[in-house]
Structures are given as C-alpha cells and as structure tokens.
Chain A
Amino acid sequence: MSSEVLQLDGVSRTYGAGATAVAALRNVNLTIHAGEFVAVMGPSGSGKSSLLTLAGGLDRATGGEVFVEGTPLGGLSINELARLRRRAVGYVFQDFNLVPTLTAAENVALPRELDGIPARKARRQANDALRLVGIEDLADRFMDQMSGGQQQRVAIARAIVGNRRLILADEPTGALDSATGDGILEVLRGRTEAGAAVVLVTHEARHAGWADRVVFLKDGRIVDEAASQHDPSVLLTGRAH
C-alpha cells in the first residue's frame, strides 16, 4: 500500500460562476503520508474548511484531483464516495457530533453497522477503538455522563474505528480547556505514530505546534509551510541528560 494517504493535486474549488464566482481554493498541492500529522492554519475565509471537506470527499473539487489512499475521488459515484469515506476517512468536529441517546461504544460502532458489519463484530471494533483512545472503561456511558474531553475521545474513536487511516479534525479542541485539549492532541499524535495520517484545522498556534508540518493558507492558496526538525540533536535548547 502506498504511504500517501491523502494527495491534493492542483485542487481548486470555486463557488458560483461568472462575475460572482468565489474561489475558496486555488491550485492547492498537498501530499500527506501515513504517520504524518499536518496542521492547516489561516485566517477566516482562507479555505481551511473547504480543504478539509474536499479531502474527506464531502464536496467535490472544481479543478484538479483529490486522491485518498491512491483512489481519485473525482470519478467516483455518490455511493462509491460514501463507501470510501466509511472505509478510509474519519471526521472529528469541534462539537463532537455524537448521538446522545447512544452509549460511547454504540456511537463508535454505528458507522461500522451502517457499513453492514454484524453488530457483535462492530461492537468489538468499537471497544478496540475506545481502548486506543484510552477510555475503554467508559464504553457503556451515555454522553451526558461524560466530560467534554471524554466525549471528544469517543469522537476520535469513531473516526478511527475499523482502522481508517485518514483522520480529518476541524478545531477538535475548540470547546475544551487547555489541558484537556492537550490530551486530545496527544491522542491524535498517538494515532499518527500508529500509522494514521491526521489533518488538523486550527487557528490555535499552540495546537498546530503538535504537528510535523504546518501549512499556511491565505486566500485559498498555500503560502508557506513550517516543518518541524526531526533530529533531536538540532533542537534549540541543549538540555544535557
């Protein structure tokens, strides 16, 4: 399997036509590999959310092509696109988007069951996913019995259940206090170390600091990118151990 989990190849997205056309993304090139954590930053209206919806196959590019695990999304029918999303792509939102009348495990199992997986197997996969985000002991809790941080962990478990390798997170720490937010970033970081690719849209520089690469968007274009130094010996403060 290719290590390229997500590839945007000259992607544009224009809303409307003629004189009133608005370009949300203009000729964006971006490749994200397995095990990579990429943050997308930029002012309001810079195209961050458009990038995420195109990457997740929730919207279609008006130019260029989006590839998820090597599959070009442009040629897929609506049903094929939905199937690919369920198999490969997990979304995490600021407001969690969990079903309040279901338990944590039921919320996580739901996308698997919708995909035709037998209930017991789906439940087993849900428990695995909950264990990976550190809350397997809360599997039978309802949402109103959980803190915001715990609910966001359920949402991440739902995003990764069934070994989906592309996690798209839209301001996932926005509703959480600073320490709880760091816990969520730690979970996302841990998923990349297990081989997933994570795209985090955020306006918080400190959260983007968790990423391997930070992409800056402006007016629908990538204007710059900051890549972290991977070699610990060249880090700025030389603490002796």
Chain B
Amino acid sequence: MSIRHSLLALLQEGPRYGYQLRGEFEERTGSTWPLNIGQVYTTLDRLERDGLVEKEGDDGEGHVVYTITDAGRTEVTDWFAQPVAATNPPRNELAIKLALALTLDGVDVAAVVQAQRTASMRQLQDYTRQRRAAATSADAAPAAQGGPKANDAAWLLVLDSLIFTAEAEVRWLDHCEGWMAQRAVRAGKQRTAVAERQAAEHPAAAAAGTRAVSK
C-alpha cells in the first residue's frame, strides 16, 4: 500500500497536518488499513526531503501544516495514471500453506481446505452484511444534507474490494478441492492399470504377489 501517494493525494485538497491526514485517509477507506501517526509523520518527512511537500508553518495550535508542491502534484497525477504494479505476487500465506500441505506427508489437505473455506466464507458474510448496512445508511442520507457523501461511496468501494477478494479465495479453494479429487481418481486408475498390466505380463508373479499380500 502506498501511504506516500495516499497522503500526497489528500494534500491536493489543501494544506493539512498529520492527524488530519490520518483521519481523512481512514474515513475514506473505512479504517480498513489503520495508519499509526508515527508512520504518517515519517512519511511526511520523506515527502519533504524529496521536495514533494513543504512545511507551511504552524496552525496556531502547535500542529505543523504541510502543503503540496508542484512536483508533488505531478507525482500524484503520475500515480493515478500508472496501473498498480503487480510484478511480484504479494506473499500469500494461504497459498504457501496449501503448497506445503500438498507436498508433505501426514497433512490432511482436504481438512485444511475446508477449515479455510469456512473461515473465508464467514468473512465474506460479515463483509456482505457491512456492505448492505453501509449502502442502506448511504441511501438514507437526507437530501437536505447533500444526500450520499463521496466518502460513503469510497467506503462501499473498499468493501466491494474485500468482498470480491474473499469470494476469489473461496472459489480458489473450491477449485483446489475439485482438482485434488480428480487427481486422486486419476492416480487410482493408474494404479489399477499398472496392476492389471503386471498381472497380464507375469500372471504367476502377480498371483504370488496376491498370495504374499493376503498372507
């Protein structure tokens, strides 16, 4: 997540101090990715070092107010114009866990899949419930107060993103389960075919083998 660009984008609306920036960021994203204030000030220091913001002075109550520079505005324009780079897949603990479960002996992969699916489904239910409540409250915003706010819409959009991500996870787990089931059937058929071929080529040995097993 680019805190740097998010703060810079918010400064386009006018000069702000650190706590204001944190509040506005969280308001628009539903506190989904909470920022600590230390992070905000560290980022502002770096932005100042890079010439993208300037200290405008004090607001009279001891808050240092920052303002965006022309270079900062160009940086924001470029940020919105560029797609988010996804060259390195983010580390996905679930994918790593399943990959290891599949390759190690003694792990019940189906149980891992089901436990995760139930948890992901519960998360999806909770996000859907919140989405519905948020949409209802946005619709209920009185027209006299300007109707639904842009920040409400932003929050709905973030919730939709969480919903679709959780959905993708459940679908992927469904896919994994189906694929493992097919693989198990194929492996079973291959074992049967090998046994039949051996029996055809070496009937005595196969019979001896059967006797050996049955002992």
Name A's B-contacting residues (CB within 8 A): 41, 43, 186, 189, 203-206, 208-212, 214, 216, 223-229, 232, 235-240
Contact = CB atoms under 8 A, between A and B. Distances in A.
B149 to A, nearest CB: 12
A205 B121 contact: yes
Contact of B118 (A206, A210, A226, A235): A226
Nearest to B169: A205
A211 B125 contact: yes
Most chain B beta-carbon neighbours within 10 Å: one of A43, A214, A216, A226: A226
30 contacts: A43-B174, A43-B177, A189-B132, A205-B171, A206-B163, A208-B121, A209-B121, A209-B124, A209-B128, A209-B163, A210-B128, A211-B125, A216-B117, A223-B114, A226-B118, A226-B121, A226-B125, A228-B122, A228-B126, A229-B122, A229-B125, A232-B133, A235-B130, A236-B123, A237-B30, A237-B32, A237-B130, A237-B162, A239-B31, A240-B31
Interface residues of B, number: 34
Nearest to B162: A237
Contacts of B121: 41, 205, 208-209, 214, 226
B130 A208 contact: no
B134 to A, nearest CB: 8
Contacts, number: 84
A5 B72 CA distance: 62
B114 A216 contact: yes
A65 B21 CA distance: 61
Most chain A beta-carbon neighbours within 10 Å: one of B125, B127, B133, B177: B125
Given A206-B167, A208-B124, A237 B118 contact: no
Contacts of A237: 30-32, 130, 162
A43 B178 CA distance: 8
B124 A205 contact: yes
A205 B32 CA distance: 22
A207 B178 CA distance: 20
Given A214-B121, A237-B162, 19 more contacts: A205-B120, A205-B174, A206-B124, A206-B163, A206-B167, A209-B125, A209-B128, A210-B125, A210-B132, A214-B125, A216-B118, A223-B114, A229-B126, A232-B130, A235-B126, A235-B129, A237-B32, A239-B31, A239-B32
Contacts of A206: 124, 128, 163-164, 167
A32 to B, nearest CB: 16
A78 to B, nearest CB: 38
B53 interface: no
Nearest to A229: B126
Query: Closest 8 CB pairs between A and B?
Result: A205-B170, A228-B125, A209-B128, A209-B124, A226-B121, A206-B167, A239-B30, A226-B122
